[in-house]
Structure 1
Amino acid sequence: MAIRLENVGIAVRDLDATIAFFTDLGLTLVGRDTVSGEWADTAVGLDGNHARIALLSTPDGHGRIELFEYLHPDAIETEPTLPNEIGMHRVALAVDDLDAALAVAARHGCHPLRGVATYEDVYRLTYLRGPSGILVMLAEDLRAGRPDG
């Protein structure tokens, strides 16, 4: 049986603000739609399922994120996920310029949880809280410009 990851789905409070955040970071908006009806109820397991959705893709075309803004049933607010909680955790994005990515995130009011770390002179990385409390890891590969990287 062949298998591949299609996308990661994230329910959000404000679809337009979340699209702006991710497209400003460099993802591409593939499409938007509104879904509802019996097929959506069956697939998702919610009666009266009605949501605005958007699909975004990384520039290399391999990673995709599907965003959902629920119109019905009402979205349920939860506490933001902590890095050590069990369950869906974070979206990790590789960037070629961490400082530039952090400047983009700051324009959306999103800042590192604690700061920027360097892992064994291999990665500079940080976690930040994105729109709707989404944990986003940004990582810059420091080997990218080196002859051995």
Structure 2
Amino acid sequence: MAITLENVGIAVRDIEETIAFFTDLGLTVAGRDTVSGEWADTAVGLDGNHAKIAVLQTPGGQGQIELFEYLHPDAIETEPTLPNEIGMHRIAFSVDDIDAALEIAARHGCHPLRGVANYQDVYKLTYLRGPSGILVMLAQALKKE
């Protein structure tokens, strides 16, 4: 059986705010829609499912995330996921300039949880809390001399 990862789905409070954050980091909007109806109820398992959706794509098209802003049923607020909790953990991106990426994130009010780490002179990396509490990892590969 062949299998291909299509995207990672994330429910968000404000789809426009979240799109702005990720597009400023370099993703592009591949598509947008509003979904509802029996097929959506069946696929998702929620009666009266009605949501705004957007698919964002990384440059080169190798990765996608799908954002959902629920119109019905009401979205349920939970505490933001901690890095050591079981379940959906984080979304990770490689960037060529982590400082530039962090400047962009800061314009959206998003800052590293603690700081930027150096992993064995291979990567500079950090976790930050993005829109709707999404954990985002940014990593920059370091060049060996």
With the length of structure 2 as denominator, give the TM-score of the two structures.
0.98
Q: In angstroms, what is the RMSD of aligned CA positions?
A: 0.8
Letter in 2 for 1:95: V
Mapping 1:1-149, distance limit 5 Å:
1-143=1-143, 146=144
- Percent identity over the alignment is 82
Shift of residue 60, structure 1, vs aligned partner: 1.8
Tell me how far apart the structure 1 counterparts of residues 141 and 63 of structure 2 sit (CA, whole Å).
17
Give the CA deviation at 1:136. Answer: 0.1
| Moved segments of 4+, more than 6 Å | none
Post-superposition offset of 1:97: 0.3
- Size of the aligned set, in residue pairs, is 145
Letter in 2 for 1:39: W
Describe the superposition over 1:56-103 as per-residue Cα deviations: whole angstroms up to 9, x where unpaired.
000021110000000000000000000000000000000000000000
SS in 2 for 1:13: coil
Q: Give the SS at the match of 1:40.
A: helix
Gaps of 5+ in 2: none
* Counterpart residue type for residue 112 of structure 2: P
Structure 1: distance between partners of 2:7 and 2:61: 11
The normalised TM-score by structure 1 is: 0.96
Unaligned runs of 5+ in 1: none
- How far apart in 1 are the matches of 2:75 and 2:63? 26
1:25-82 CA distances to partner (integer Å, 9 max, x unpaired)?
0001111100000000000000000000000000021110000000000000000000
